[in-house]
Structure 1
Protein backbone atom coordinates (compact mmCIF):
# COMPACT_ATOMS: atom_id res chain seq x y z
CA UNK A 1 0.00 0.00 0.00
CA UNK A 2 1.38 3.40 -1.01
CA UNK A 3 2.33 5.59 1.91
CA UNK A 4 4.81 8.12 0.54
CA UNK A 5 3.97 11.68 -0.39
CA UNK A 6 5.82 13.91 -2.83
CA UNK A 7 6.12 17.65 -3.30
CA UNK A 8 6.78 18.95 -6.81
CA UNK A 9 7.92 22.50 -7.48
CA UNK A 10 7.85 23.81 -11.03
CA UNK A 11 4.94 21.64 -12.15
CA UNK A 12 3.84 24.18 -14.77
CA UNK A 13 7.19 24.03 -16.59
CA UNK A 14 8.32 21.74 -19.39
CA UNK A 15 9.92 18.99 -17.32
CA UNK A 16 7.71 19.69 -14.31
CA UNK A 17 4.50 19.07 -16.23
CA UNK A 18 5.67 15.65 -17.32
CA UNK A 19 7.07 14.92 -13.87
CA UNK A 20 3.72 15.69 -12.28
CA UNK A 21 1.96 13.25 -14.59
CA UNK A 22 4.54 10.56 -13.84
CA UNK A 23 4.15 11.06 -10.09
CA UNK A 24 0.38 10.80 -10.29
CA UNK A 25 0.70 7.49 -12.14
CA UNK A 26 3.30 6.11 -9.74
CA UNK A 27 1.68 3.67 -7.28
CA UNK A 28 4.43 4.32 -4.74
CA UNK A 29 2.97 7.74 -3.94
CA UNK A 30 -0.27 8.07 -2.02
CA UNK A 31 -0.34 11.83 -2.51
CA UNK A 32 1.30 14.53 -4.59
CA UNK A 33 1.45 18.22 -3.67
CA UNK A 34 2.16 20.74 -6.43
CA UNK A 35 3.54 24.09 -5.28
CA UNK A 36 2.76 26.64 -8.01
CA UNK A 37 2.49 30.37 -8.59
CA UNK A 38 -0.09 30.19 -11.38
CA UNK A 39 -3.03 27.88 -12.09
CA UNK A 40 -2.28 24.50 -13.59
CA UNK A 41 -5.03 22.46 -15.28
CA UNK A 42 -4.31 19.01 -13.85
CA UNK A 43 -6.81 17.47 -11.46
CA UNK A 44 -6.44 14.10 -9.76
CA UNK A 45 -7.57 12.35 -6.60
CA UNK A 46 -3.94 12.13 -5.45
CA UNK A 47 -3.14 15.76 -6.24
CA UNK A 48 -3.27 18.78 -3.95
CA UNK A 49 -2.37 22.13 -5.49
CA UNK A 50 -0.90 24.81 -3.25
CA UNK A 51 -0.59 28.35 -4.58
CA UNK A 52 2.17 30.51 -3.21
CA UNK A 53 4.22 33.62 -3.76
CA UNK A 54 7.73 32.34 -4.12
CA UNK A 55 9.06 35.27 -2.10
CA UNK A 56 6.93 34.16 0.88
CA UNK A 57 7.01 30.36 0.97
CA UNK A 58 6.79 29.49 4.65
CA UNK A 59 3.04 30.16 5.07
CA UNK A 60 2.25 28.06 1.98
CA UNK A 61 4.38 25.16 3.20
CA UNK A 62 3.01 25.20 6.74
CA UNK A 63 1.72 21.75 7.63
CA UNK A 64 3.11 20.12 4.47
CA UNK A 65 5.16 17.01 5.19
CA UNK A 66 6.48 14.77 2.43
CA UNK A 67 9.10 12.10 1.90
CA UNK A 68 10.41 13.25 -1.51
CA UNK A 69 10.82 16.69 -3.07
CA UNK A 70 11.01 17.01 -6.87
CA UNK A 71 12.44 20.37 -7.90
CA UNK A 72 11.91 21.20 -11.57
CA UNK A 73 12.50 24.93 -11.32
CA UNK A 74 14.45 26.67 -14.03
CA UNK A 75 14.41 29.78 -16.15
CA UNK A 76 16.65 31.68 -18.57
CA UNK A 77 18.40 35.02 -18.18
CA UNK A 78 16.27 36.38 -21.03
CA UNK A 79 13.01 35.31 -19.41
CA UNK A 80 14.09 36.34 -15.90
CA UNK A 81 15.23 39.74 -17.14
CA UNK A 82 18.70 39.86 -15.61
CA UNK A 83 21.46 37.67 -14.23
CA UNK A 84 20.39 38.54 -10.68
CA UNK A 85 16.76 37.59 -11.36
CA UNK A 86 17.93 34.33 -12.93
CA UNK A 87 20.01 33.55 -9.85
CA UNK A 88 17.03 34.27 -7.59
CA UNK A 89 15.13 31.40 -9.27
CA UNK A 90 17.82 28.86 -10.13
CA UNK A 91 19.84 29.23 -6.95
CA UNK A 92 18.07 31.10 -4.15
CA UNK A 93 14.57 29.71 -4.65
CA UNK A 94 15.79 26.13 -5.12
CA UNK A 95 17.92 26.32 -1.99
CA UNK A 96 15.15 27.97 0.07
CA UNK A 97 12.68 25.21 -0.80
CA UNK A 98 15.27 22.53 -0.05
CA UNK A 99 16.04 24.01 3.37
CA UNK A 100 12.41 24.53 4.35
CA UNK A 101 11.37 21.01 3.37
CA UNK A 102 14.38 19.40 5.05
CA UNK A 103 13.36 21.11 8.31
CA UNK A 104 9.93 19.58 7.82
CA UNK A 105 11.41 16.10 7.56
CA UNK A 106 11.79 15.48 3.82
CA UNK A 107 14.25 12.66 3.22
CA UNK A 108 15.04 12.86 -0.49
CA UNK A 109 15.58 15.87 -2.78
CA UNK A 110 15.67 15.46 -6.53
CA UNK A 111 16.62 18.44 -8.66
CA UNK A 112 17.01 19.29 -12.34
CA UNK A 113 20.38 20.91 -12.92
CA UNK A 114 22.21 21.16 -16.24
CA UNK A 115 24.95 19.47 -18.19
CA UNK A 116 28.20 21.28 -17.50
CA UNK A 117 27.15 22.59 -14.09
CA UNK A 118 30.30 23.72 -12.31
CA UNK A 119 30.70 26.29 -9.54
CA UNK A 120 33.99 27.36 -11.15
CA UNK A 121 32.63 27.66 -14.70
CA UNK A 122 33.28 30.84 -16.65
CA UNK A 123 29.80 30.68 -18.18
CA UNK A 124 27.35 32.35 -15.77
CA UNK A 125 24.51 29.84 -16.35
CA UNK A 126 26.73 26.81 -15.69
CA UNK A 127 28.34 28.51 -12.69
CA UNK A 128 25.00 29.22 -11.00
CA UNK A 129 23.88 25.64 -11.56
CA UNK A 130 27.15 24.40 -10.07
CA UNK A 131 26.80 26.70 -7.07
CA UNK A 132 23.26 25.43 -6.58
CA UNK A 133 24.44 21.81 -6.58
CA UNK A 134 27.20 22.60 -4.08
CA UNK A 135 24.84 24.43 -1.74
CA UNK A 136 22.30 21.58 -1.81
CA UNK A 137 24.97 19.12 -0.67
CA UNK A 138 25.21 21.05 2.60
CA UNK A 139 21.48 21.11 3.40
CA UNK A 140 21.61 17.70 5.04
CA UNK A 141 19.35 15.47 2.95
CA UNK A 142 19.98 11.77 3.51
CA UNK A 143 19.58 11.40 -0.25
CA UNK A 144 20.25 14.04 -2.91
CA UNK A 145 19.81 13.20 -6.58
CA UNK A 146 21.01 15.67 -9.22
CA UNK A 147 19.93 15.23 -12.84
CA UNK A 148 21.96 17.03 -15.50
CA UNK A 149 20.15 16.97 -18.85
CA UNK A 150 21.63 18.37 -22.03
CA UNK A 151 19.62 20.53 -24.45
CA UNK A 152 15.91 19.87 -23.81
CA UNK A 153 13.44 18.98 -26.51
CA UNK A 154 9.70 19.50 -26.10
CA UNK A 155 6.85 21.91 -26.65
CA UNK A 156 7.21 25.06 -24.58
CA UNK A 157 4.86 27.99 -24.26
CA UNK A 158 7.70 30.39 -24.96
CA UNK A 159 10.12 30.27 -27.90
CA UNK A 160 13.73 29.33 -27.18
CA UNK A 161 16.02 29.57 -30.19
CA UNK A 162 18.62 27.12 -28.91
CA UNK A 163 16.05 24.42 -28.29
CA UNK A 164 14.41 25.02 -31.69
CA UNK A 165 17.76 24.62 -33.42
CA UNK A 166 18.46 21.52 -31.35
CA UNK A 167 15.16 20.00 -32.43
CA UNK A 168 15.96 20.57 -36.11
CA UNK A 169 19.46 19.16 -35.77
CA UNK A 170 18.57 16.17 -33.59
CA UNK A 171 18.79 13.52 -36.37
CA UNK A 172 22.29 14.74 -37.28
CA UNK A 173 23.42 15.06 -33.67
CA UNK A 174 22.27 11.52 -32.88
CA UNK A 175 24.59 10.24 -35.61
CA UNK A 176 27.55 12.39 -34.60
CA UNK A 177 27.31 12.32 -30.81
CA UNK A 178 27.95 8.73 -29.86
CA UNK A 179 30.05 6.90 -27.31
CA UNK A 180 31.66 9.35 -24.83
CA UNK A 181 29.93 12.21 -26.67
CA UNK A 182 26.48 10.70 -26.15
CA UNK A 183 25.74 12.90 -23.15
CA UNK A 184 25.70 15.94 -25.45
CA UNK A 185 22.75 14.70 -27.50
CA UNK A 186 19.51 16.68 -27.05
CA UNK A 187 17.06 14.87 -24.78
CA UNK A 188 13.28 14.86 -24.60
CA UNK A 189 11.88 16.64 -21.54
CA UNK A 190 9.38 13.83 -21.02
CA UNK A 191 12.23 11.30 -20.83
CA UNK A 192 13.98 13.47 -18.23
CA UNK A 193 10.81 13.62 -16.12
CA UNK A 194 10.24 9.86 -16.28
CA UNK A 195 13.87 9.25 -15.38
CA UNK A 196 13.61 11.62 -12.42
CA UNK A 197 10.68 9.72 -10.94
CA UNK A 198 12.29 6.35 -11.67
CA UNK A 199 15.53 7.12 -9.83
CA UNK A 200 13.57 8.23 -6.78
CA UNK A 201 13.10 4.52 -6.10
CA UNK A 202 16.66 3.43 -6.89
CA UNK A 203 19.27 2.08 -4.51
CA UNK A 204 21.33 3.31 -2.85
CA UNK A 205 18.80 5.51 -1.15
CA UNK A 206 21.41 7.59 0.63
CA UNK A 207 24.26 9.84 -0.39
CA UNK A 208 24.66 12.27 -3.29
CA UNK A 209 24.02 10.92 -6.79
CA UNK A 210 24.69 12.81 -10.03
CA UNK A 211 23.14 11.56 -13.28
CA UNK A 212 24.55 12.79 -16.57
CA UNK A 213 22.38 13.24 -19.63
CA UNK A 214 23.41 10.06 -21.43
CA UNK A 215 22.00 7.99 -18.55
CA UNK A 216 18.49 9.31 -19.12
CA UNK A 217 17.81 7.30 -22.25
CA UNK A 218 19.84 4.33 -21.06
CA UNK A 219 18.72 3.55 -17.49
CA UNK A 220 21.03 0.52 -17.32
CA UNK A 221 23.88 3.00 -17.54
CA UNK A 222 23.05 4.29 -14.08
CA UNK A 223 25.87 2.15 -12.77
CA UNK A 224 28.09 4.89 -14.13
CA UNK A 225 26.47 7.58 -12.00
CA UNK A 226 28.73 9.74 -9.90
CA UNK A 227 28.18 8.90 -6.26
CA UNK A 228 29.53 11.63 -4.05
CA UNK A 229 29.91 11.76 -0.31
Structure 2
Protein backbone atom coordinates (compact mmCIF):
# COMPACT_ATOMS: atom_id res chain seq x y z
CA UNK A 1 0.00 0.00 0.00
CA UNK A 2 1.06 3.56 -0.66
CA UNK A 3 0.22 4.70 2.86
CA UNK A 4 -2.27 7.33 1.70
CA UNK A 5 -5.47 8.35 3.47
CA UNK A 6 -8.70 9.09 1.62
CA UNK A 7 -11.66 11.01 2.99
CA UNK A 8 -15.11 10.64 1.49
CA UNK A 9 -18.28 12.65 2.13
CA UNK A 10 -21.54 11.29 0.78
CA UNK A 11 -20.64 7.61 1.11
CA UNK A 12 -24.28 6.50 1.34
CA UNK A 13 -25.39 8.08 -1.94
CA UNK A 14 -25.56 6.63 -5.44
CA UNK A 15 -22.00 7.57 -6.42
CA UNK A 16 -20.53 7.62 -2.93
CA UNK A 17 -21.42 4.05 -2.02
CA UNK A 18 -19.76 2.80 -5.22
CA UNK A 19 -16.71 5.01 -4.69
CA UNK A 20 -16.34 3.76 -1.11
CA UNK A 21 -15.98 0.22 -2.44
CA UNK A 22 -13.24 1.29 -4.85
CA UNK A 23 -11.39 3.08 -2.06
CA UNK A 24 -11.62 0.16 0.34
CA UNK A 25 -10.81 -2.60 -2.14
CA UNK A 26 -7.98 -0.86 -3.96
CA UNK A 27 -4.34 -0.81 -2.86
CA UNK A 28 -3.75 2.93 -3.04
CA UNK A 29 -5.11 3.82 0.42
CA UNK A 30 -4.47 2.21 3.77
CA UNK A 31 -7.12 4.31 5.52
CA UNK A 32 -10.50 5.57 4.33
CA UNK A 33 -12.32 8.11 6.48
CA UNK A 34 -16.05 8.30 5.78
CA UNK A 35 -17.88 11.23 7.32
CA UNK A 36 -21.56 10.38 7.36
CA UNK A 37 -24.84 11.22 9.05
CA UNK A 38 -25.76 7.56 9.39
CA UNK A 39 -23.80 4.29 9.33
CA UNK A 40 -22.81 2.92 5.93
CA UNK A 41 -23.33 -0.64 7.11
CA UNK A 42 -19.87 -1.87 6.10
CA UNK A 43 -17.23 -3.55 8.24
CA UNK A 44 -13.75 -3.19 6.73
CA UNK A 45 -10.30 -2.91 8.36
CA UNK A 46 -9.45 0.22 6.34
CA UNK A 47 -12.71 2.03 7.07
CA UNK A 48 -12.74 4.77 9.70
CA UNK A 49 -16.41 5.71 9.84
CA UNK A 50 -17.30 8.93 11.65
CA UNK A 51 -20.90 9.96 12.20
CA UNK A 52 -20.92 13.75 12.32
CA UNK A 53 -23.19 16.77 12.50
CA UNK A 54 -22.47 18.53 9.22
CA UNK A 55 -23.52 21.82 10.79
CA UNK A 56 -20.60 21.55 13.20
CA UNK A 57 -17.78 20.27 11.02
CA UNK A 58 -15.36 22.89 12.33
CA UNK A 59 -15.50 21.16 15.72
CA UNK A 60 -14.22 17.94 14.11
CA UNK A 61 -11.32 19.52 12.25
CA UNK A 62 -8.96 16.68 13.14
CA UNK A 63 -10.98 14.32 10.94
CA UNK A 64 -9.92 16.14 7.80
CA UNK A 65 -6.29 15.07 7.79
CA UNK A 66 -6.18 13.18 4.50
CA UNK A 67 -4.31 13.08 1.20
CA UNK A 68 -7.23 12.83 -1.21
CA UNK A 69 -10.74 14.13 -0.49
CA UNK A 70 -13.80 12.94 -2.40
CA UNK A 71 -17.06 14.90 -2.10
CA UNK A 72 -20.22 13.21 -3.39
CA UNK A 73 -22.75 15.18 -1.37
CA UNK A 74 -26.06 16.13 -2.97
CA UNK A 75 -29.77 15.97 -2.44
CA UNK A 76 -33.07 16.79 -4.14
CA UNK A 77 -35.65 19.44 -3.41
CA UNK A 78 -38.07 16.62 -2.60
CA UNK A 79 -35.84 15.33 0.19
CA UNK A 80 -34.53 18.68 1.38
CA UNK A 81 -38.03 20.28 1.35
CA UNK A 82 -36.71 23.82 0.77
CA UNK A 83 -34.16 25.49 -1.48
CA UNK A 84 -32.38 26.80 1.60
CA UNK A 85 -31.90 23.30 3.00
CA UNK A 86 -30.79 22.00 -0.39
CA UNK A 87 -28.26 24.84 -0.70
CA UNK A 88 -26.79 23.93 2.68
CA UNK A 89 -26.25 20.29 1.68
CA UNK A 90 -25.10 20.88 -1.91
CA UNK A 91 -23.04 24.04 -1.41
CA UNK A 92 -22.26 24.95 2.19
CA UNK A 93 -21.25 21.49 3.37
CA UNK A 94 -18.87 20.78 0.45
CA UNK A 95 -17.24 24.20 0.87
CA UNK A 96 -16.74 23.56 4.59
CA UNK A 97 -15.25 20.15 3.89
CA UNK A 98 -12.90 21.52 1.24
CA UNK A 99 -11.80 24.43 3.42
CA UNK A 100 -11.08 22.22 6.43
CA UNK A 101 -9.31 19.57 4.35
CA UNK A 102 -7.13 22.20 2.70
CA UNK A 103 -6.19 23.69 6.07
CA UNK A 104 -5.21 20.19 7.24
CA UNK A 105 -2.91 19.61 4.27
CA UNK A 106 -5.01 17.65 1.76
CA UNK A 107 -3.49 17.66 -1.72
CA UNK A 108 -6.41 16.58 -3.91
CA UNK A 109 -10.10 17.45 -3.90
CA UNK A 110 -12.51 15.60 -6.19
CA UNK A 111 -16.06 16.93 -6.45
CA UNK A 112 -19.26 15.66 -8.03
CA UNK A 113 -21.06 18.59 -9.66
CA UNK A 114 -23.59 18.63 -12.50
CA UNK A 115 -23.49 18.73 -16.28
CA UNK A 116 -25.14 22.13 -16.61
CA UNK A 117 -23.42 23.87 -13.69
CA UNK A 118 -23.53 27.61 -14.37
CA UNK A 119 -23.41 30.37 -11.71
CA UNK A 120 -25.37 32.68 -14.04
CA UNK A 121 -28.15 30.21 -14.87
CA UNK A 122 -31.74 31.34 -14.47
CA UNK A 123 -32.53 27.95 -12.97
CA UNK A 124 -31.84 27.13 -9.35
CA UNK A 125 -30.10 23.75 -9.60
CA UNK A 126 -27.43 24.56 -12.24
CA UNK A 127 -26.90 27.98 -10.64
CA UNK A 128 -26.38 26.32 -7.26
CA UNK A 129 -23.82 23.89 -8.68
CA UNK A 130 -22.11 26.70 -10.57
CA UNK A 131 -21.77 28.75 -7.38
CA UNK A 132 -20.32 25.71 -5.63
CA UNK A 133 -17.73 25.23 -8.35
CA UNK A 134 -16.73 28.89 -8.15
CA UNK A 135 -16.02 28.59 -4.44
CA UNK A 136 -14.19 25.28 -4.68
CA UNK A 137 -11.90 26.64 -7.39
CA UNK A 138 -10.66 29.29 -4.96
CA UNK A 139 -9.44 26.78 -2.38
CA UNK A 140 -5.71 26.05 -2.86
CA UNK A 141 -5.42 22.33 -3.51
CA UNK A 142 -2.58 20.98 -5.61
CA UNK A 143 -5.21 19.12 -7.64
CA UNK A 144 -8.89 19.98 -8.03
CA UNK A 145 -11.05 17.68 -10.16
CA UNK A 146 -14.67 18.57 -10.86
CA UNK A 147 -16.92 15.90 -12.36
CA UNK A 148 -20.00 16.99 -14.29
CA UNK A 149 -22.06 13.86 -14.98
CA UNK A 150 -25.30 13.94 -16.93
CA UNK A 151 -28.40 12.19 -15.61
CA UNK A 152 -27.33 9.49 -13.17
CA UNK A 153 -28.49 5.90 -13.34
CA UNK A 154 -28.33 3.27 -10.63
CA UNK A 155 -30.17 1.90 -7.63
CA UNK A 156 -31.22 4.58 -5.17
CA UNK A 157 -33.08 4.26 -1.92
CA UNK A 158 -35.70 6.71 -3.12
CA UNK A 159 -37.73 6.54 -6.34
CA UNK A 160 -36.87 9.20 -8.94
CA UNK A 161 -39.34 9.24 -11.80
CA UNK A 162 -37.09 11.23 -14.15
CA UNK A 163 -34.20 8.81 -13.82
CA UNK A 164 -36.41 5.75 -14.30
CA UNK A 165 -37.95 7.31 -17.41
CA UNK A 166 -34.55 8.25 -18.81
CA UNK A 167 -33.20 4.76 -18.20
CA UNK A 168 -36.04 3.30 -20.22
CA UNK A 169 -35.46 5.75 -23.07
CA UNK A 170 -31.71 5.17 -23.21
CA UNK A 171 -32.08 1.40 -23.18
CA UNK A 172 -34.49 1.46 -26.11
CA UNK A 173 -33.07 4.35 -28.13
CA UNK A 174 -29.31 4.43 -27.47
CA UNK A 175 -28.57 5.56 -31.04
CA UNK A 176 -30.07 8.98 -30.25
CA UNK A 177 -27.20 9.84 -27.91
CA UNK A 178 -24.23 9.84 -30.25
CA UNK A 179 -22.17 12.58 -31.82
CA UNK A 180 -23.03 16.04 -30.45
CA UNK A 181 -25.73 14.52 -28.20
CA UNK A 182 -23.29 12.12 -26.57
CA UNK A 183 -22.79 14.46 -23.61
CA UNK A 184 -26.48 14.07 -22.69
CA UNK A 185 -26.33 10.29 -22.42
CA UNK A 186 -27.22 9.07 -18.93
CA UNK A 187 -24.36 7.60 -16.93
CA UNK A 188 -24.17 4.95 -14.24
CA UNK A 189 -23.22 6.08 -10.75
CA UNK A 190 -20.62 3.32 -10.63
CA UNK A 191 -18.97 4.69 -13.77
CA UNK A 192 -18.64 8.13 -12.18
CA UNK A 193 -17.19 6.55 -9.04
CA UNK A 194 -14.69 4.58 -11.11
CA UNK A 195 -13.61 7.72 -12.96
CA UNK A 196 -13.12 9.63 -9.70
CA UNK A 197 -11.02 6.82 -8.27
CA UNK A 198 -8.84 6.58 -11.38
CA UNK A 199 -8.35 10.33 -11.68
CA UNK A 200 -7.24 10.48 -8.05
CA UNK A 201 -4.34 8.17 -8.87
CA UNK A 202 -3.00 10.48 -11.57
CA UNK A 203 -0.30 13.07 -10.95
CA UNK A 204 -2.18 15.87 -12.67
CA UNK A 205 -1.90 19.29 -11.03
CA UNK A 206 -4.23 22.26 -11.07
CA UNK A 207 -7.90 22.34 -12.01
CA UNK A 208 -9.57 19.90 -14.39
CA UNK A 209 -13.27 19.77 -15.22
CA UNK A 210 -14.52 16.42 -16.51
CA UNK A 211 -17.66 16.50 -18.71
CA UNK A 212 -19.95 13.49 -18.75
CA UNK A 213 -18.63 11.96 -21.97
CA UNK A 214 -15.06 12.06 -20.62
CA UNK A 215 -16.19 10.57 -17.32
CA UNK A 216 -17.73 7.74 -19.33
CA UNK A 217 -14.43 7.08 -21.14
CA UNK A 218 -12.33 7.15 -17.97
CA UNK A 219 -14.73 5.19 -15.80
CA UNK A 220 -15.45 2.27 -18.13
Q: Is the alpha carbon distance of 1:163 and 1:106 closer, same or farther for their aligned partners in structure 2, counting shifts above 3 Å?
A: same
- Mapped partners of 1:63, 1:5: distance in 2: 11
Q: Is the alpha carbon distance of 1:172 and 1:104 closer, same or farther for their aligned partners in structure 2, counting shifts above 3 Å?
A: same
- What SS is found at the alignment partner of 2:216? coil
Residues 1:84 and 2:75 aligned together: no
- State the 1:201 CA deviation: 1.3
Which has a greater percent of helix? Answer: 2
- What SS is found at the alignment partner of 2:60? helix
Query: What is the aligned partner in structure 1 of residue 96 from structure 2?
Result: 96
- State the 1:174 CA deviation: 2.1
Query: What is the aligned partner in structure 2 of residue 39 from structure 1?
Result: 39
Please report the TM-score for the alignment, with normalisation by the length of structure 1.
0.92
- State the 1:31 CA deviation: 0.8
- What SS is found at the alignment partner of 1:62? helix
- State the 1:43 CA deviation: 1.2
- Mapped partners of 1:210, 1:3: distance in 2: 27
Residue correspondences, number: 220
Query: What is the aligned partner in structure 1 of residue 135 from structure 2?
Result: 135
Query: What is the aligned partner in structure 1 of residue 11 from structure 2?
Result: 11
Task: Detail structure 1 runs of 4+ shifted over 4 Å in the superposition.
Answer: none
Query: What is the aligned partner in structure 2 of residue 73 from structure 1?
Result: 73
**What's the Cα RMSD here?**
1.5
Q: Is the alpha carbon distance of 1:64 and 1:123 closer, same or farther for their aligned partners in structure 2, counting shifts above 3 Å?
A: closer
> Deviations along 1:121-151, whole A, 9 cap, x unmatched?
1111000000100100111111100000100
Gaps of 5+ in 1: 222-229
Query: What is the aligned partner in structure 2 of residue 186 from structure 1?
Result: 186
Query: What is the aligned partner in structure 2 of residue 213 from structure 1?
Result: 212
- Mapped partners of 2:63, 2:198: distance in 1: 27
Query: What is the aligned partner in structure 1 of residue 165 from structure 2?
Result: 165
- What SS is found at the alignment partner of 1:66? coil
